Structure 1
């Protein structure tokens, strides 16, 4: 479905403002003025600035999840999965840097973890209450994400290969 022009303007303007300001400093009035739309138009699509940000973040996480070739590889081949995941991060790096800046920085790994847990649990419901699996997934996603993020200015392939080599876990399925 094609996005209405007004919604597109809202999103483009929000992303432009987010490049230069923390989310807490962006008001609906400022966004609407820069996007040349009425406040009522903004409220057709979003409850507030945080709702807009949340929806864009969720869309980003969904895009990352959908870019994975084989979601089952998180269990069967974590090294390959790591490469796929960080290739997806790399492709969306600019937008990730904008959306998940400042006070929102911890939200990306959190949302990725929750999304991947649900993916794993949909494939293997028996893992849902398995504390060990949940600890491993948490460590895997948070550790890999922060290691990648701290080293993203280095050679991408090298960073991903080092992180992937650390991931040796395979679930017994």
Structure 2
């Protein structure tokens, strides 16, 4: 007898949800298949129908949270003023904040930030490189720095219960990018 797709999808999602609730409490290497299946109400065999191991669950979950190029909103730079589309990154972050705040947090997956940056980089590179006078190598380093800073500051913002409004956070990031850290510190 063939399983119904909606039941299969729900079973898979239940296992992911059980994994996620455990992952929010402890590091991935401390989670067992037994814990996930008990929490979800399935047996170990069911788990292995969908995943090869605990790390596969994490990998599939992360893959579902990384925006593809066609999911990223397009942006253009008007009047050749170079800047970052902060609202684009903020929307992506807000949409997945439940996951991003944990995955990018202290007990999260260190590789996730790189995966996120690598998904966003091509669209930014395509648009911003047109206006840059930097060599491609220097540009890559600058883009890495900017994306790392943006992801880091947004992670910090979520961990601190959004103490600043989203508008104030965007203003702060834009000011830091325009004037630099030293100018901001000495104001």
The structural deviation recorded for 1:161 is 2.1
Q: 1:63-100 deviations in whole A, cap 9, x for unaligned?
A: 7x655321566xx7764512210232123211222344
- Contact map agreement 2:121 2:143 (CA 8 A) in 1: yes
Task: Name the counterpart of 2:38.
Answer: 33
Runs of 4+ residues deviating >6 angstroms: 121-127
Relative contact order (alpha carbons < 8 A, sep ≥ 6): 1 or 2 greater?
1
CA 1:86–1:105 in 2, change beyond 3 Å: closer, same or farther?
farther
User: Does 2:159 align with 1:149?
Assistant: no
**Aligned counterparts of 2:40 and 2:18: Cα–Cα separation in 1:** 6
**Aligned counterparts of 2:55 and 2:91: Cα–Cα separation in 1:** 28
Specify the structure having the higher radius of gyration (Cα). 2
- Contact map agreement 2:26 2:107 (CA 8 A) in 1: no
Task: Name the counterpart of 1:46.
Answer: 51
Aligned residues: 164
Q: Provide the aligned C-alpha RMSD in A.
A: 3.2
Task: Name the counterpart of 1:171.
Answer: none
Unaligned ranges ≥5, structure 1: 169-173
Q: TM-score, normalised by structure 2?
A: 0.71
User: Does 2:87 align with 1:83?
Assistant: yes
The 10-residue stretch of structure 1 (20-29 or 159-168) with the greater mean CA deviation from structure 2 = 159-168
Instruction: Give the secondary-structure state (helix, strand or coil) at the position aligned to 1:98.
Output: helix
Unaligned ranges ≥5, structure 2: 179-187
CA 1:71–1:107 in 2, change beyond 3 Å: closer, same or farther?
farther
CA 1:106–1:78 in 2, change beyond 3 Å: closer, same or farther?
farther
Task: Name the counterpart of 1:11.
Answer: 16
- Contact map agreement 1:79 1:165 (CA 8 A) in 2: no
User: Does 2:145 align with 1:139?
Assistant: yes
CA 1:125–1:139 in 2, change beyond 3 Å: closer, same or farther?
closer
**Aligned counterparts of 1:39 and 1:121: Cα–Cα separation in 2:** 44
Instruction: Give the secondary-structure state (helix, strand or coil) at the position aligned to 2:85.
Output: helix
The 10-residue stretch of structure 1 (86-95 or 47-56) with the greater mean CA deviation from structure 2 = 86-95
- Contact map agreement 1:78 1:167 (CA 8 A) in 2: no
Task: Name the counterpart of 1:96.
Answer: 100
